[in-house]
Amino acid sequence: MDAPSEFWIRVLLVRRAGSCTVKAASGFSVSGAGVSNQVRFGAGEGPGKIEISDGRIRIAGRYFEGKRLTITPERPYIFNFNGDDYRGKVEFIINSEGNRFMAINLVPLEPYLAGVIGAEMPHYWEPAALEAQTIAARTYCLYIKNRHGVNRSWDVKKTAANQVYKGLVAESASVWDAVNRTKGRVLFCRQADGTEEIFPAYYSSACGGHTENSKNVFGDSFEPLVGVKCPYCRKVTKPTFFFWPMFEVDKESVTKNVFKRYPKLKNLGKVKQIISAKEVDYKEFSRVVLVKLVGSSGKSGFLRAEDMRLSIDPTGNKLRSTIFQIADMGDRFAFLSGRGYGHGVGMCQCGAQGLARRGRGADYILYYYYPGSKISRVY
C-alpha cells in the first residue's frame, strides 16, 4: 500500500452498475471530494449494498455527495466486491447521467500481478515460466497504463481484453514467489530515435508453431514482436487446443455479430462470403491475417482476421485462433484445420512452459519470444 502513485493500477471491475455489494471485514473508511471529513465504519458494519439514487451514492443507508467516492479497507486492505476478494481500495465514479457508476479497484502493481499470474497461467507450472509470465504481464500493464490510462479513469480491464485479473482467488505461494523474485523487472525495446521504452508485451496461450508479427494482428510495430518459430508448445498444449475441432456458425449470426462490433460495415447488407485476403505462410501452416467480407449488397469490406475472430466468437473458445481454412457451407461458414489458441503475438505461454521444462530460465524465455528486448528494473 506504500507503493508510489505511478505504480498503482486502476482495474475496471464494472463499467455501468446501479448497485453492487462490498464487504470489508476489517472495517473501512469513505472519502471523496463531496465528503467533508473521512467517514469510518467499524469492523462488521458493512457496507453491504452500495447503490445509486437521485444521482448520489448510498452506502449502508447513508447518502454521499460528490461524483467520486473511495472505500479504503483497514488492514489487511482486503475487500469483497460482488462476492470476489481483492486487495487495495475500490473507487466509485458516477456517470454524467447520474444513474450508473463505474467501480474501479485501486491496487499496487505487485499485488495486482499476484491476481493476474494464477489466472493467466497454471500456478503449478515451472517457476521459470511463472517468472517469465510475471515480467511480461508487468510490462504489458505499465505500457497500457502509460499509453491509454492517462485519457480515462481506469488503466486496465479485469478481463482478457487486457489480461485476466481474479484477485485473491488466483493467488498462491508459487505465484507470490514469482512476483517477489521479479519485483520491478520489465521489458524494454529500442525505439527509432535510439531510446529504450517499454512495449506491449503481448502473450497468448499456444501459438501453434510460430508466433505472429504484432503488426499483422494489432497494427502496431515493435522490434521484439516480429514473431519467432516455436516448437515448444505442442507437447504442453492439450491436443484439442493445439489442433482444434471444426467450428461452424450460421451466416446470420456472423452478420449480426460483425455489424454489432463494426457498424460501418452494415452497407454490406448480409455477409455472404468470407475470403482469406492475406496469409502468413509458415510452411507447415498459414495464419490468416486479413479477410475480405462480401455482402448481399455487392459491396465488400476488409477486417483483420483477429478482429473478425473475436466478433464471431467473443469468448475465443471455439474459434480459437486465425490459423484456419474457411469453407462456405451454404447458410453457414465452417472453419477447418484450426491450430493454436489465441492471437499468437509475443510470448507463447505453453511454449514458455516447454522451455522451462528444458531447464531454461525466465530471462532466456523472454529473450526468445521478445528478441531484441532488454530486461531492467524500474524499482
Which pLDDT score, from 0 to 100, does residue 47 have? 63
Q: What is the pLDDT of residues 47-81, one digit of tens each?
A: 688 999 889 999 878 888 889 999 999 999 999 99
Return all residues near 161 (Cβ < 8 A) that are at least 6 apart.
none
Which pLDDT score, from 0 to 100, does residue 44 have? 66
Which pLDDT score, from 0 to 100, does residue 36 have? 66
Q: Which residues of the chain have pLDDT under 50?
A: none
Which pLDDT score, from 0 to 100, does residue 368 have? 98
Residue reference for cell 511480461: 136
Distance between CA atoms of residues 121 and 113, nearest Å? 12
Which pLDDT score, from 0 to 100, does residue 191 have? 87
Which pLDDT score, from 0 to 100, does residue 248 have? 97
Which pLDDT score, from 0 to 100, does residue 39 have? 80
Which pLDDT score, from 0 to 100, does residue 252 have? 97
CA distances from 230 to 208, 242, 320, 341 (A): 8, 12, 18, 13
User: ω before 224 within 30° of 0 (cis)?
Assistant: no
CA distances from 157 to 7, 83, 104, 164, 233 (A): 16, 18, 9, 8, 27
